[in-house]
Amino acid sequence: MIILGIDPGIAIVGYSIVECSGNKFKAIDYGCIRTDSDILFPDRIKIIYTKLTEIIEKYNPEDLAVEELFFNKNVKTAIKVGQARGVEILAAVNKGLNIYEYTPLQIKQSVVGYGRADKNQVQEMVRILLNLKEKPKPDDVADALAVAICHGSSIKFKESFRMK
């Protein structure tokens, strides 16, 4: 199974393409989509939508695993990130992907074995599980890889994580 993992954002969207076979994982591609704050918001979400659609067309994943939003104290930022997350999900829905969402706690528990793990622990476990030479950076990329691993680990229970 090919999984598209997304760490939602507006300035930086972490993405990953991970192949899952049983309990083995292989990173096929990963990186981030960046948009500059000088660009108008509608143009920023168009860039994200377009680039994510290209990634989906290139790798043809079956499922999208996306991190649920962590509530931000800055309401304006939270709303913009929420709108961007909607566009990220729309790109996947328009290409026929199944959509699954996981909380940060679920992702950390799945990847590290501890739901309160810090960013460094998540990056190191992602590196180990995917046999990468270096820790994936920035954090958004590591988080996108982690959410894909979490989904791959949860496949037998995946219907309970399907976005409703």
Task: Report, as residue numbers or ranges, the catalytic residues.
Answer: 7, 67, 140
The residue type found at 44 is R
CA neighbours closer than 13 Å in the CB half-sphere of residue 114: 8
DSSP three-state, residue 22: coil
Report the distance separating Cα 39 and Cα 33, nearest Å: 14
Rounded to the nearest 5°, which phi and psi values hold at 63? -125, 150
